[in-house]
Amino acid sequence: MQPTHRSSRILLPAKNGFVFLSLFVALGLTYIPTGRLPGVPDWVPLVLAFWCIREPMRVGMGTAFVFGLLVDIGQGAAMGQHALAYVVLAYLAMSVSRRVLWFSPLQQALHVLPLLLLAQINMVLVRLVAGAEFPGWWYFLSSFTGVALWIPLHFLLLLPQFQPVDRDDNRPI
């Protein structure tokens, strides 16, 4: 039985510039001061999980560590709090990447939800060890909004990789 969600289009390789531009845009969105609004997604781990699943040889734990430190610096968090959470997220996303790519974007989102929740649990544990208060259960709502944004983000980040639909008879593919 063949999967019905597969596209017949062939993807071009992802360009390094676009991959890191998307990560820096996510970092910029993370720097927007939203206060303590529940449900605002954490953009960096969402985009990081996407690229760790799609391009595990390009984006990995080193990238996750650097962007985690940048988020720590930008948000004034405990140094290493986001870095630790993002490295664990990157490791787990890379370890399930071959499996997750077989699924449709909706099913991929269901695989990403535990990864995002685990990243948030890691950040809360580091905060608690550092002496901060528990942020409340609403804090974990951002993982669910991030998963709701997985499908549009999936298509947006893959858009530059799509080949043109028109066929050239001189090309073999």
Q: Distance of CA 164 to CAs 8, 66, 85, 117, 167, Å?
A: 12, 35, 38, 37, 8
Burial annotation 135-165 (CB, 10 A radius, 16+ → b, else e): eeeebbbbbeebbeebeebbeebbeeeeeee
* CB hemisphere CA count around 109 (13 angstroms): 16
Which pLDDT value is given to residue 171? Answer: 63
Asked if residues 71 and 30 have their Cβ atoms less than 8 Å apart, the reply is yes
| Rounded CA separation 173/156 (Å) | 24
- 64: in domain: yes
- Would you say the C-alpha torsion 62, 113, 29, 54 has a positive or negative sign? positive
Burial of 120 (0-12, 13-18, 19+ CB in 10 A): buried
- 114: in domain: yes
- 147: in domain: yes
- 143: in domain: yes
Question: Domain range for residue 26?
Answer: 16-31+41-161
- 2: in domain: no
- When divided into structural domains, the chain yields a total of 1
pTM above 0.75, yes or no: yes
Which pLDDT value is given to residue 61? Answer: 96
pLDDT in tens, the chain (173 residues): 455 555 556 777 888 999 999 999 999 999 998 867 888 999 999 999 999 999 999 999 999 999 999 999 998 888 889 999 999 999 999 999 999 989 999 999 999 999 999 999 999 999 899 888 898 898 899 999 999 999 999 999 998 887 665 666 676 65
- 77: in domain: yes
- 3: in domain: no
- 144: in domain: yes
